[in-house]
Amino acid sequence: MVLGSDSVEEYLEAIHSFNERGERAKNTELAKRLKVAPPSVTQMVKKLADRGYVQYVPYRGTILTGRGMALAQRVVRKHRLLERFLYDYLGMDMGKVHDEACRMEHSLSDEAAHALCDALDNPETCPDDEKPIPRCSLAVSDCKDCAVVREGSEAKLITELSHLQPGEKGVVSLIIDMDDPLKELGISKGDKVEVTAAEPFEGPLAVKVAGETTSVERAMAAKIYVEVLDVKVDLVEAHPHGPHH
């Protein structure tokens, strides 16, 4: 699914910055960050909720759904790769790279982002507080596979299973570090999964696979990447005490 505008990308990216820290994005804080009026934030957040990109609870704040997280991570990845390039290769002052990357991220194509990642030797962090760079959306295990797969491939709506909210579905596209606990889950590449419940913060997920529901620890779910299915779902309201990260 293609984002409708740069403005939507900016909102998803801003919400991601709070959710990444395990916090809900409050409208007042989003207004300050994006330098817009609070009523405009409320209106946009409601639109994002209607699209299934976020869960918005008035007076509590907003968290990204799996679909919204996948889209946000795509933008954040481009931003942080650009910061790495501007700082490491062009020698720009650290105080300027963020704003410059903000101006460039929306016009950078997925293909160019893959090429930039390759040129930078697949960096893991950006120079701005060493924040992690989200994994690429080609669902490949390493850069050698990436070089083959990315030719003519479109970036997919992929994120970690740990980010899906109750009611969301996906297809497993990649499992990293397949250790014994993961093997015991019985989840394999190509399986269709649905999150039916989620405990707050670092709590486990209830995941339905092949008609059976199993409990998946959050850390294990973070190793399972899924292509989020673009289906109309009735998302279950999030736990009042915080986002499921």
Tell me which of 123, 149, 175 is where a domain ends. 149
Band (pLDDT 50/70/90 cuts) for residue 237 is very low
CA angle 205, 76, 150 (to 5 degrees): 90
Do both 80 and 142 map to the same domain? yes
**Digit-coded pLDDT (tens) for 184-207:** 888 989 999 999 998 766 789 999
Q: Is residue 219 part of a domain?
A: yes
Domain count, the chain: 3
Give me the percent of the chain exceeding a pLDDT of 70: 83
Whole-angstrom distance, CA of residue 154 vs CA of residue 187: 25
- Are 50 and 18 members of one domain? yes
Q: Are residues 138 and 123 in the same domain?
A: yes
Helix (H) or strand (E) holding 198: strand 192-198
pLDDT at 3: 41
Residue 240 lies in a domain: no
Maximal CA-CA distance, the chain: 54
Residues 96 and 139 in one domain: yes
- Which tens digit of pLDDT belongs to each residue from 43-57? 999 999 999 999 999
- The counts of H helices and E strands in the chain are 9, 8
pLDDT (mean) for 65-69: 95
Rounded to an integer, the average pLDDT of 29-54 is 95
My answer on whether 181 and 162 are in the same domain is yes
**Where in the sequence is the domain holding 203, given as residue range(s)?**
158-228
Q: Are 23 and 204 in contact (CB under 8 A)?
A: no
